[in-house]
Amino acid sequence: MSGNPNSQTIKNPKPSYEPKEKGPELNDRDRVNDILAMEKYLTDSFNVSAREASHPALHEDILTVLMETHRCQYDMYEMMFKKGHYKLEGEQQAKLDQTYDQFLKYATQFPYSSQLQ
């Protein structure tokens, strides 16, 4: 929770077939969560591999696999959100604007800040 009383929770209901209390057995959520964690690990590893690849063809192949892995990770997240396993907190536009303005002030310290505006 963001702690903002004006924020709005965005979520889907959990499937009716899931027990109210989690037992020690693996369920669908556990399995998809494990896949999601693995996909996150793979994207991190492929990011490093893409940076370190010294051959152009290998670099392109790794980038292709990296993008596929990112898509799979996002699909797993979307599935979990649709099944009610993740929730989001909506934020007021004024708070978003304030954060954006704060970032722009920090961005003036970046070596290439003109690209951000």
Q: What is the pLDDT of residues 47-102, one digit of tens each?
A: 999 999 999 999 999 999 999 999 999 999 999 999 988 888 888 889 889 999 89
Question: d(Cα 69, Cα 39) in Å, to the nearest integer?
Answer: 6
Please give the model's pTM, rounded to 2 decimal places. 0.67
The pLDDT assigned to 5 comes to 56
Is pLDDT larger for residue 105 or for residue 58? Answer: 58
Task: Read off the pLDDT of each residue in 5-33 and give the average, rounded to a whole number.
Answer: 82
Band of residue 1 on the pLDDT scale cut at 50, 70, 90: very low
Question: d(Cα 89, Cα 9) in Å, to the nearest integer?
Answer: 5
The pLDDT assigned to 2 comes to 45
Can you name the residues that pair with 10 across neighbouring β-strands?
88
Distance from chain centroid for Cα 88:
12
Distance from chain centroid for Cα 17:
26
Is the pLDDT at 116 greater than 60, yes or no? no
Task: Read off the pLDDT of each residue in 13-35 and give the average, rounded to a whole number.
Answer: 85
Band of residue 10 on the pLDDT scale cut at 50, 70, 90: confident
The pLDDT assigned to 40 comes to 94
Task: Read off the pLDDT of each residue in 3-10 and give the average, rounded to a whole number.
Answer: 68
